[in-house]
Amino acid sequence: MTILVVGAGPAGTRCALRVAGRLPGTPVVLAGAEPALPYDRVALSKHLVGDTTQEALITHSLAELRAAGVSFRPGTRIERLDLAAREAVTARGERIAYDRCVVATGSRSFRLPLPGADLPGVIAWRDLAESREMLRAAREGGPAVVIGGGLLGLEAAVGLVARGMKVTVLHAVGWPMERQLDYDAGTLLADRLRARGLTMHMPAATVAIEGTERAEAVLLKSGERIPARLVVMCVGVRPNVDLARASGLEVARGVVADAAMRTSDPHVLAVGECAEVEGRLIGLVAPALEQAEIAAGTVAGEAGAWVPRADSAALKVSGTAVWSGGEVAPADAEAVTFRAGESYRRLWWRDDRLVGAVLYGDTAEAGFYGTLIASGQPVASRADAALGQAYMQDAA
């Protein structure tokens, strides 16, 4: 029996290692489209800013994978699965036989369909090769524009500023990271970013990227023209379903899978950002790794089901810790706000149950609020809860 895992990102690598551990002696093949060893994609921002080396991004060496029972094939792009023959067809026409296949193709950056979006100097930051391109541009110097004020866009902007570029961030909403932060927390973050040397245009609508042989400027709907030798698009991702669609697997927004991570073909599973599990997509590493564990168990004949949890994100942007969990600024919930110095927290309640929270500056209570949100347990005093776990215990 041969197990093939397509995609050497965090979820794919975790799944391959766990399958090899559960089924010792079973051939496990991990095929990665990039010509690189598995690496920590989340830490690309640290590499960009200069806090870590490219070598330090590598999570598993070839020797470590081999010792764990995984045969790694970098630079191997799988074009389609021949479901009837149970063979994967590579871009070179090679066929790799499998008994079970796990699709872990992740997601791809979304590019705005703007005039000039295909000019040299315009990239969508997602992988190691694009990080290298950004570093080359930073060495040449000049102005840069980052389109998108979500987490990835802000990390790109902070990294490029640290490398000496003059950076402008364009964001369609009036404050950054609106999916994780409410307006007040987002405004605090924007002020800190401006103090770090970033120029923030919010809200801003981009209509074109100008240039002849390469990017030269970004044109806004307002008519303003912002010079840019480098344009980085960070405007979201889409599940990478090309392989699944070419293979005839059921695809909706992502590769359709059940809670055991099985797709429409009984011999194929899907995990991570490419998978749509019972109608739900994910965009964070933690649930992707959970799905990888479930898929490995399914391959090994174990019973298991992935259970989604309330969304939460612990982030560090521009040296400032932020955390959000559950629903952010729901219209039908009541808010309680606590501020002390540069620390800010806002909690949203329905009746006496916490349904969402945002922490800025001080995230020490993140675990406490995350547990309250996930459990749905009633809380006697919202004010006590806003002060934190220790205060609630003292009050009791």
Structure tokens at 149: 């004020």
Determine the Cα–Cα distance for residues 368 and 249; give it in Å rounded to an integer: 41
Task: Kindly list the structural domains of the chain, giving each domain's residue range(s) and its CATH number in brackets, ordered by start.
Answer: 3-108+237-299 (3.50.50.60), 122-233 (3.50.50.60), 312-395 (3.30.390.30)
Q: Express as a percent the part of the chain with pLDDT over 90.
A: 80
CB atoms within 10 A of CB 112: 15
Structure tokens at 335: 């808010």
- In single-letter form, the type of residue at position 200 comes to M
Cα distances (angstroms) measured from residue 341 to each of 189, 192, 337, 344 = 14, 14, 13, 8
Q: Using an 8 Å Cβ cutoff, are 106 and 100 in contact?
A: no
The whole-chain average pLDDT of the chain stands at: 93
Range list of H helices, 249-375 = 285-299, 366-375
Q: How confident is the model at residue 117 (pLDDT cuts 50, 70, 90)?
A: very high
- What would the pLDDT profile of 293-349 be if each residue is shown by its tens digit? 999 999 999 999 999 876 777 777 767 889 999 999 999 999 999 888 888 999 999
pLDDT, position 394: 52
- In single-letter form, the type of residue at position 376 comes to G
Q: What are phi and psi of 330, to 5 degrees?
A: -65, 140
Residue 59 DSSP label: -
Which of 21-30, 334-343, 386-395 is least confident? 386-395
pTM: 0.89
Structure tokens at 129: 């090769």
Would you say residue 393 has pLDDT above 90?
no
pLDDT, position 309: 77
Which of 12-26, 39-53, 279-293 is least confident? 39-53
| Most confident of the following: 268-272, 352-356, 365-369, 382-386 | 268-272
pLDDT, position 342: 82
Q: Mapping DSSP to helix (H, G, I), strand (E, B) and coil, where does residue 11 land?
A: helix
Determine the Cα–Cα distance for residues 381 and 385; give it in Å rounded to an integer: 6
Q: How confident is the model at residue 396 (pLDDT cuts 50, 70, 90)?
A: very low
